[in-house]
Each structure stands twice: as structure tokens, then as C-alpha cells.
Amino acid sequence: MPLTHLDNKGNAIMVDVGGKAPSRRKAVSKGRIKMSRECFDLVSGGQMKKGDVFAAARIAGIMAAKRTSELIPLCHNILLTSVSVDFQMINDSCEIEAVCAVGTTGQTGVEMEALTGVSTALLTIYDMCKAVDKSMVINGIYLSSKTGGSSGDISNPSPASHSMDESK
């Protein structure tokens, strides 16, 4: 399959999506941040000194999704119709899972916006909590699902389901 972000001379280009029909598209990405028990308990109890960790991370994730084309060089500037960022506390492992869902009706997908949103939400959690725990680890950021567009629907149940085998 030829690379779509290169011209016939090998120069980087933004893909021309002008001839594609608009369609309803949605992408969902997920990722996690693992932290100490002390930090996890402070976050879950709403006791972090910097304030409401989830409110700050949610707004940061939404803002980042909206500005993805300013961060990723060949990404299209897309009119987003929806962005949400939600969190799940995973008590057993002291992790917080962030989920970013992005929607549009357009000629190109919103996978990069969803990935940028979840990444920024997790980075914001790190920033809000670093005074308590500098050993936090952000991991497992992946595209969970996407719908719409010519490539069809995709569902990735977890990052572990993706083979890292380079022979494929």
C-alpha cells in the first residue's frame, strides 16, 4: 500500500480529502495512568491540593482534541461535532483510565483527535498529581474504536490485543 502522506518525490504532503463524500465519523481512544496508592486515594477522595483533577484533565483533553491539527503536522483541521473525556478509577491497580470520544461529519476521520485528547488528559492528571507522586506511568494509549469513512468500522478491545510482531 503506498504512503498517502508523500508525493511522488517523497516529500511530505497533507492528503487531499476534497473528493471524499462527508460521512458521520467517531473515534474513541483510551489510556491509563498508574500511580501510588497514596496519590490514587487523594485523587479518588477529591483531596489533591491543586484542585479537581478530573475537571482540569477533562477540559485539557477537550481543548487538545480541538487543536490537534496545530500539534500533528499533516493532520487536517476538522470541525468537531462532539468531544467527551471520561475517567474510570481502577482501585486494584491504582490506575485511572481515560476515555476520549470524538465525533464529526466530514471527509476524514477523528482518530488523531481522540488520541491527542486522551494523551493530554493523562498528562494533565500527571501534572495535577506530580507533587505527591513523581513515579506515575502513563501507558496503554490506543485507538479503541472508530466508525465511519471508507476504511469502515474498527474495534480494538485492548492494547494487548495488538500484536507487536514486526513480521506482519
For the segment 122-161, what is each residue's pLDDT rounded down to a tens digit?
999 999 999 999 999 999 999 999 999 888 898 988 776 5
Task: Please tell me the predicted confidence (pLDDT) of residue 157.
Answer: 80
pLDDT band at 53 (very low <50, low <70, confident <90, very high): very high
3-state secondary structure the chain: CCCCCECCCCCECCCCCCCCCCEEEEEEEEEEEECCHHHHHHHHCCCCCCCCHHHHHHHHHHHHHHCHHHHCCCCCCCCCCEEEEEEEEEHHHCEEEEEEEEEEEECCCCHHHHHHHHHHHHHHHHHHHCCCCCCCEEEEEEEEEEECCCCCCEECCCHHHCCCCCCC
Task: Please tell me the predicted confidence (pLDDT) of residue 159.
Answer: 72
Task: Please tell me the predicted confidence (pLDDT) of residue 166.
Answer: 45
Task: Please tell me the predicted confidence (pLDDT) of residue 33.
Answer: 98
**Mean pLDDT, all residues of the chain:** 90
CATH architecture of 23-146: 2-Layer Sandwich (3.30)
Task: Please tell me the predicted confidence (pLDDT) of residue 146.
Answer: 95
Residues tagged active-site? 127
Sorted by where each begins, the domain ranges of the chain are 23-146
Task: Please tell me the predicted confidence (pLDDT) of residue 12.
Answer: 77
pLDDT band at 163 (very low <50, low <70, confident <90, very high): low
